[in-house]
């Protein structure tokens, strides 16, 4: 890399153990200019250690100390380094029993600052740091407790997310496993999912968000014919007791007289429409596709009352062409087979629940 009359720039030199150590030391120095809470959280995340107040001192990720300096503090962290046990040692400028923020009398603070400056250490300050470490830990845990976005872990594996799962009916891990979606996406909707109602807009938004769809709508008041159980069908000459116990005929005009074995209904069925799908996504939502079961299970989870419903899948017109024999993707009867190019947006309607 070195030219004829110039040396290699330091940023392109080969890495060595010494250079890696220097880089780490410089990174720790730069971290001193950051926010105390953010830097502490980053140190815990870098080690992947469980954050607990019950950890033994020799297993702590970070040890907190208070600076005995009585000068005006310019930042939260005075120094950050590693000790021989590979633990981080953070010297802070706030909430200490020594230094400018200490509640102790001034002559104690002056003596500790003088000993620190002359001898490089103070046994009194070291003793007080036993208490400083503990309540600085308390401060960090208090800050972290009420900030869910800090304690959140991918997949919603943290304790707060697990409790929110319980609010929306997913507290049991086995129940969550049945929903083949990214469960953590539901955490943002915990407020509305914990309520009793399910609006069409909410169902569409959840499906679009969890399945990465752009055009989802719900058409309610769909017509259907509901089968009447044989024991409830009209029978001439038969009687049954009413609410008051009086016998009433089963074929009284205007009361319980129904012709046939089915009755028309508009209040128990809806249609879920997913439009502008590419051909691969369209195939995935068909009954033999890899996302069909996940979608139908998710809709069943969302519905408080299990209504009858149909699924309508619509393709982008440019995604479909004529039928080609031997091509599975374009020759499925009733799904992807078209003679020539369809004149309008092609779709298929699937009856999911009768």
Measured distance CA(145)–CA(271) in Å, rounded: 43
Q: Where do the domains of the chain lie?
A: 10-150, 152-195, 200-223+266-354
**Helix (H/G/I), strand (E/B), else coil: 8:** coil
Measured distance CA(100)–CA(85) in Å, rounded: 29
pTM comes to: 0.71
62-66 and 88-92 strand pairing = parallel
**The pLDDT value given to residue 3:** 52
Measured distance CA(125)–CA(79) in Å, rounded: 16
Residues 141, 55 contacting (CB under 8 angstroms): no
**The pLDDT value given to residue 5:** 58
**The pLDDT value given to residue 123:** 85
Beta carbons within 8 Å of 88's beta carbon, 6+ residues apart: 28, 43, 61, 62, 63, 80, 81, 82
> Which residues of the chain are under the pLDDT cut of 70?
1-20, 49, 247, 249-250, 321-322, 329-331, 340, 343
């Amino acid at each position: 890399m070195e030219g004829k009359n110039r040396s290699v720039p330091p940023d392109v030199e080969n890495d060595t153990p010494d250079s890696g150590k220097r880089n780490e030391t410089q990174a720790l120095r730069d971290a001193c200019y950051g926010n105390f809470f953010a830097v502490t959280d980053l140190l815990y995340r870098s080690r992947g250690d469980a954050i607990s107040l019950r950890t033994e001192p020799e297993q702590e990720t970070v040890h907190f100390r208070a600076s005995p300096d009585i000068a005006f503090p310019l930042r939260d962290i005075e120094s950050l380094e590693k000790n021989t046990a590979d633990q981080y040692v953070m010297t802070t400028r706030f909430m200490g029993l020594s230094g400018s923020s200490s509640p102790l009398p001034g002559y104690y603070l002056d003596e500790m600052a003088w000993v620190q400056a002359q001898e490089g250490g103070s046994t009194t300050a070291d003793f007080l740091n036993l208490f400083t470490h503990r309540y600085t830990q308390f401060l960090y845990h208090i800050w972290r407790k009420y900030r869910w976005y800090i304690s959140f872990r991918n997949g919603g594996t943290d304790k707060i997310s697990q409790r929110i799962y319980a609010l929306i009916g997913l507290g049991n891990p086995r129940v969550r496993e049945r929903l083949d979606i990214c469960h953590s996406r539901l955490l943002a909707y915990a407020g509305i999912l914990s309520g009793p109602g399910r609006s069409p807009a909410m169902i569409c938004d959840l499906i679009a968000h969890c399945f990465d769809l752009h055009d989802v709508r719900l058409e309610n008041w769909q017509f259907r014919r509901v089968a009447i159980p044989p024991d409830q069908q009209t029978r001439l000459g038969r009687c049954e007791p009413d609410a008051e116990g009086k016998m009433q005929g089963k074929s009284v005009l205007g009361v319980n007289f129904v012709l046939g074995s089915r009755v028309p209904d508009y209040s128990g069925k809806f249609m879920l429409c997913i439009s502008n799908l590419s051909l691969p996504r369209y195939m995935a939502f068909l009954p033999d596709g890899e996302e069909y079961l996940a979608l139908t299970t998710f809709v069943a989870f969302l519905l408080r009352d299990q209504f009858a419903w149909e699924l309508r899948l619509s393709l982008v017109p440019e995604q479909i062409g004529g039928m080609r024999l031997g091509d599975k993707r374009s020759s499925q009867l009733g799904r992807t087979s078209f003679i020539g190019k369809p004149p309008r947006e092609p779709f298929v309607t699937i009856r999911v629940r009768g």
